[in-house]
Amino acid sequence: MLNQINLTEIDTSQAPPEEETKRQYYFIAKCRESVAKLQKEAGRPLTFHVQTFGCQMNARDSEKLVAILEEIGYQQTEEEIADFVLYNTCTVRENANQKVYGHLGYLKGEKKKNPYMMIGLCGCMMQETKVVEKIRESYSFVDLVFGTHNIFKFAELLYSRLQSSSMIIDIWDGTEQIVENLPSERKFPFKTGVNIMYGCNNFCSYCIVPYVRGRERSREPKAILREVEQLVKDGVVEVMLLGQNVNSYGKTLPTPMTFAQLLREVEQVEGLKRIRFMTSHPKDLSDELIEVMASSKKICKHFHLPLQSGSSRLLQDMNRHDTKEQYLALVEKLRTAMPDLSITTDIIVGYPGETEEDFEETMDVVRKVEYDSAFTFVYSQRSGTPAAKMEQVPEEVVKERFNRLLTEVNEISKRRTGRLEGTVQEVLVESINAQDASFVTGRLENSTQVHFKGTEEEIGTFRKVYLKEAKGFYYLGEEVAE
């Protein structure tokens, strides 16, 4: 854990400090005292469970929330029913929202049985006014609601809730603040995400993210490098640099710098083995980035390049600022510079006004690019976005197209994944295999999973593995001697 301040040195009898990092450590210490009292009263340790919905950004935020709860003295449990249950929510598509309401319905009865139980909600969904209204009215048993902009205030907000008996709601419209050096935990000891920027300025017409994550803000390169260096000292060998559009990193910094320049610097961190990044918008992908990537020993040869649609007409309507031809030319450029590159994508089916011809353009790109894998989504109407007001494509039409796309994507993906069969590759071992404990599971540079005989000691290490058999989306392998 990257712990900057020693909790035992904080004088909680004083007023809270102004400086934000110190302030939050102060409230962690205050919460710790309150939770210790509660544990004594309950005669048992109090547990917590954080459940994450949505993207890598939320996953990284959750690592920070987990670290704070651990510092406070709660014990983590895999069980969903815990003394403190926190849902870090996503609202990119309606089904993500429905899941959260489903979970809340289930918790209601459980909370009645446990006087120590508290429920917290945070993340993107909470940035929507109508969601918070619904929680207030129909889910009044929830204890704490906060959003994406004030996530760093978690300890302070939790302390307010521990001091009062009513629901605490604190949602901000936005913030300029980037609070560094708060506690941070990792799901895997050997890999993690590192935020390089927050928010999004692109306003793709279907997307709610800019409304719930606010304006684009880049972290200072020094802060990013310091974090990566500390992580490596702490055993991390793989980092994923995170942003909604990493290709526009650094544009708004006092001393502007490009994403490619940042990558060059991250590459210099000794001991770091693999660098990934997510997500790249095709409109800002520079030649400089392709060059840096092609010549790098550490940047994984894997590019996630969201397509959304293959129809130039729809791309324009989506406010994506690129065309089918530009996208295909980019792919060509990437493949010329890096022949082994794995390319993955995101595709939306059923965007308002999508015709059969538009859809066929998407299928055409899918066939031409031959993605290693593709996340395919049914368009979901998000209130407040321009596309929500447009005429929607009938559900049956969308379903039929979606199935056609999925069949195509899966077929290509199987073929592409299998191309490394019979070769020896480097695998970063991540876990014991869920089905067979005499096997371990790891990932190739392009993120494909490999299962092979191994032991717990290998977790977090790189192994040379012979990819004996391609099994659709993963490989069965055999470790070879160094």
- The contact set with ligand F3S (CB under 6 A) reads 54-55, 57-58, 90-92, 124, 209, 212-213
Q: What is the smallest separation between the CB atom of 238 and ligand SAH, expressed in angstroms?
A: 21
Cβ proximity to ligand SAH, 44 vs 389, nearer residue? 389
Q: Are 413 and 470 in contact (CB under 8 A)?
A: no
Q: Beta-strand (E) ranges in 63-175? A: 75-76, 84-89, 118-123, 144-146, 168-170
Reading the block at residue 37, the tokens are: 């009292």
Q: 310 exposed, middle or buried (CB, 10 Å; 0-12, 13-18, 19+)?
A: buried
203 binds, among ligand F3S, ligand SF4, ligand SAH, none (CB under 5 to 8 A by kind): ligand SF4
Residue numbers 176-215 binding ligand SAH by CB under 6 A = 206-207, 209
Q: How many CB atoms lie within 10 A of CB 478?
A: 12
Determine which residue in the list 152, 327, 377, 475 makes contact with ligand SAH, applying CB under 6 A.
377
Question: Rounded CA gap, 164 and 160, in Å?
Answer: 6
Look at residue 193 and give its three-state secondary structure. strand
Q: How many CB atoms lie within 10 A of CB 256?
A: 11
Cβ proximity to ligand F3S, 211 vs 466, nearer residue? 211
Site string for ligand SF4, 247-286 (x = CB under 6 A): ----------------------------------x-----
Q: What is the smallest separation between the CB atom of 459 and ligand SAH, expressed in angstroms?
A: 29
Residue 52 makes contact with ligand SF4 by CB under 6 A? no
210 binds, among ligand SAH, ligand F3S, ligand SF4, none (CB under 5 to 8 A by kind): ligand SF4
Residue 379 makes contact with ligand SAH by CB under 6 A? yes
Q: Distance of alpha carbon 18 from its chain centroid, rounded? A: 30
Reading the block at residue 92, the tokens are: 């990119």
Q: Are 374 and 347 in contact (CB under 8 A)?
A: yes
Cis peptide before 279 (omega within 30 of 0): yes
Reading the block at residue 101, the tokens are: 């309401």
Residue 200 makes contact with ligand SF4 by CB under 6 A? yes
Residue 144 zone, left/alpha/beta (φ > 0; ψ -120 to 50; rest) = beta
Cβ proximity to ligand SF4, 225 vs 278, nearer residue? 278
Residue 346 makes contact with ligand SAH by CB under 6 A? yes
Reading the block at residue 111, the tokens are: 């909370």
- Number of residues in contact with ligand SAH under rule CB under 6 A: 17
Site string for ligand SF4, 402-441 (x = CB under 6 A): ----------------------------------------
90 binds, among ligand SAH, ligand SF4, ligand F3S, none (CB under 5 to 8 A by kind): ligand F3S
Residues 6+ positions from 141 with CB-CB distance below 8 Å: 107, 108, 111, 119
The site for ligand SF4 (CB under 6 A) is made up of: 200, 202-204, 207, 209-210, 244-245, 281
The site for ligand SAH (CB under 6 A) is made up of: 92-93, 206-207, 209, 244-245, 279, 281, 306, 308, 346, 348, 377, 379-380, 382
